[in-house]
Structure 1
Amino acid sequence: MAKTVSFAAVHFCVAFSVGYLMTGDIMIGGALAMVEPAVNTVAYYFHEKVWNRFKNVRPKHTATTLYPRKALSA
């Protein structure tokens, strides 16, 4: 959850900066900074949950399991 909160803080700053730079209006920049990161943070939280679910379902094949190394002879 700390990762999500940290992401929200960074996103807030970016959204405000972009909104302000594009419009020159602090109120619009502030409104954009309040709404867009809040919605995106919720979307990010659920994206992480879905991503982790698929990550746990996927077969755990790696290059070493697909192509095992030949034993080194002494």
Structure 2
Amino acid sequence: MSKTLSFACVHFSVAFLVGYLMTGSVWVGGALALVEPACNTVAFHLHEKVWKRIETRRAAQAVAGAPLTT
């Protein structure tokens, strides 16, 4: 979870900076910094959970001697 929070902090900062530099508006930069990274952070967290499940399944198959499938 700390990796996800670290990613979120970087993402919020980048989103704000890009929004601000493109528009010159602190409000637009702030809105982008809140909405887009929040959605992306949730997606990233779910993505990590799915990949962990896939890796666990592959490791169990390797131990059991079953053929690996993608």
Partner of 1:53: 53
Please list, as runs of the form range in 1=range in 2, the aligned pairs for 1:32-47 lying within 5 A after superposition. 32-47=32-47
CA displacement 1:13-58 (0-9 Å, x = unmatched): 0000011111111100000001111111100000000011111222
TM-score (norm 2): 0.78
Unaligned runs of 5+ in 2: 63-70
CA RMSD of aligned residues (A): 1.1
Query: Which residues of 2 match residues 11-50 of structure 1 at below 5 A?
Result: 11-50=11-50
Larger Rg: 1
- Distance in 2, matches of 1:54 and 1:19, equals 36
Q: Which runs of 5+ in 1 are unaligned?
A: 61-74
Question: Which amino acid letter does the alignment assign opposite residue 6 of structure 2?
Answer: S
Residue in structure 2 matched with residue 2 of structure 1 by the alignment = 2
More helix by share: 2
Q: In structure 2, what is the Cα distance between the partners aligned to 1:13 and 1:30?
A: 10
